[in-house]
Amino acid sequence: MKGKILLLCCLVSIQSFAQNDSTRTKNDTTSANVSNKPPKKKGNNETNGVFYGQRLINTKTVEILHKGAMAFTVIHTFGDIAGGKGGTKNFFGIDEVADAQIGFQFGLGKHLNIALQHTVGGGSGIFHFYEAGIKYQFMNQGANGNPFSLTAYGNIVTSANKSTQLDSLENSFKNNGDRLSELLQLMIARKFGSVSLQLSGTYLYTHLVIPGDQNSLFSIGGALRIPLTQRFYIISDYFHSFRNQESFDTWENLGFKPRDVFGIGVEILTAGHVFHINFTNARNILENRFLAHTSDAWGKGEFRWGFTLTRNFMIFQPKK
C-alpha cells in the first residue's frame, strides 16, 4: 500500500512539474532554474555539459553543481517485477520497497561539490547507511579545448545497524571502524554530438566482510544517454566487479551468485527538475553496496523499477 501511495504522489508531482515548465531545456543556465553547469563561456573556451544531472540510474556522472547551488535528490526502488518474488502477488513489485535514499549535494566552489545522503539499504544484511562524499571536476569538455570531462568522487559510508553477538555476519561489528566502507571513483566522459558516453573506474574497500569475501573490490562501469526529444532521453548504465575465486565461491555457497549490474530507463527534464524512471537488477542504491552484493538476474525476472527525482536550488549567488 505504501508503494502505491508513493507511486501516485510521484505521478501527480510529475504532472504538476510539467505544467509549470515553460522554456527549460538542457542548455538553460539561468539562475532561476539553477542549472548544474555555469553559463557557457564565449569563444574557444565554451564548455559543454556531457550529462544533465549528477546521476543516471546506478552511476554518478561527471557533472557538478556550480558554486552556490544545491541539489535535493529522492531515489526509490520497488520490489521484483517478475520471478519468484514478483508478479501479481506483490502488484509487480509496487507493494514492496527494495531501497530508498534522500540526499543533498552542494556546490562549494567552481569545481568542488560535497554530498550528504541517507540510504535505507536493500536486500539482506545491514541497513541504514549514512554517506559523506566529495566530488571534484578536473576537466570539463570544451573548456580550454578539453576533449572530455574528468571527475573524481570519493565517499565514506557508515552503517547505523545494531551489532549482533553472532560472528561471521556483516553486522558483527566489534568497533565503529567495522561499520565503514570507502569508495574512490574516477569518471571520464564525452559528448559525441547529442549522445553522451562515460566510463567509470571504481575502487571499494569494505572494512568488515563475511569470511571468504574480499575487502578490496575493483569495478568498471559504463553509461549512455541518447536523446529522443529535447526533454526525453534514454539512459543506461552497467557495472562489472572483478572478484577473486574465493569470494565468488563464498557467495555461491550461500546461495547468492554475484552478477553484473545493469539499468535502463528514461530521463525527463522539467522546470528545475530531473526525473528518471528506470529498471535495474540492483537492490541497493549505494555503490558501496550494489557493487559487492548484487546477485539478482534479469533473465529470472529479478529486476525492479524505480525513480529518481532531483530538484536544484540556489543557496547563494556567487560574486561575478
CATH number of the domain encompassing residue 214: 2.40.160.40
User: Higher model confidence: residue 134 or residue 7?
Assistant: 134
The pLDDT value recorded for residue 140 is 94
Residue 30 lies in a domain: no
**Predicted local distance difference test score (pLDDT) of residue 310:** 94
CA distances to 210, 222, 234 from 240, rounded to whole Å, are 21, 9, 21
Asked if residue 203 has pLDDT above 70, the reply is yes
Asked if the structure places residue 11 within a domain, the reply is yes
Q: At 90, list the grid cell.
A: 506483490
At residue 82, the pLDDT reads 87
Tell whether the torsion through CA atoms of 192, 197, 198 and 199 is positive or negative.
negative
**By the 8 A CB rule, do 187 and 151 touch?**
yes
Per-residue confidence (pLDDT) for residue 92, from 0 to 100: 80
Tens digits of residue pLDDT in 73-121: 999 999 889 888 888 888 888 888 889 999 999 999 989 999 999 998 7
Q: Is the pLDDT of residue 148 over 60?
A: yes
What letter does residue 271 receive in the DSSP assignment? Answer: T
Average pLDDT, the chain: 85
Tell me the three cell numbers of residue 247.
569470494
Residue 301, in any domain of the structure: yes
pLDDT at 320: 64
Q: Is 296 helix (H, G, I), strand (E, B) or coil?
A: coil
Residue 31 lies in a domain: no
**Cell numbers describing residue 303:** 529486476
The full length of the chain comes to 320
Predicted confidence (pLDDT) per residue in 237-261, tens digit:
999 999 999 999 999 999 999 999 9
* pLDDT value of residue 27: 35
Domain-embedded: residue 32: no
Task: Kindly state the cell numbers that stand for 138.
Answer: 578536473
CA distance 23 to 31: 14
Q: Assess if residue 29 is contained within a domain.
A: no
Query: What pTM does this model have?
Result: 0.84
- 34 occurs within a structural domain: no
Q: Give tens-digit pLDDT for 297-312.
A: 999 999 999 999 999 9
The reported pLDDT for the residue numbered 187 is 98
Q: What pLDDT digit, counting tens, does each position of 284-298 carry?
A: 999 999 999 999 999
For residue 40, pLDDT beyond 80: no
- pLDDT tens digits, one per residue of 123-139: 666 889 999 999 999 99
Phi-psi sector, 131: left (phi>0), alpha (psi -120 to 50), beta: beta
- Whether the pLDDT of residue 153 is over 80: the answer is yes
Residues 6+ positions from 78 with CB-CB distance below 8 Å = 3, 93, 94, 96, 97, 98, 304, 305, 306
- Please indicate, yes or no, if residue 183 is contained in any of the structural domains: yes
Confidence check: pLDDT of 38 > 90: no
- Structurally, the chain folds into a number of domains equal to 1
pLDDT of residue 284: 93
* pLDDT at residue 18, rounded to an integer: 39
Region 137-165 average pLDDT: 93
DSSP H or E run through 78: strand 69-78
Among the listed residues 299, 266, 256, the one whose alpha carbon sits nearest the alpha carbon of residue 281: 299
- Looking at residue 6, its pLDDT comes to 46
- What is the mean pLDDT of the segment spanning 209-232? 96
Residues above pLDDT 90, as percent of the chain: 63
Q: Which residue type is seen at 23?
A: T
Name the residue range of residue 200's domain: 2-21+46-314
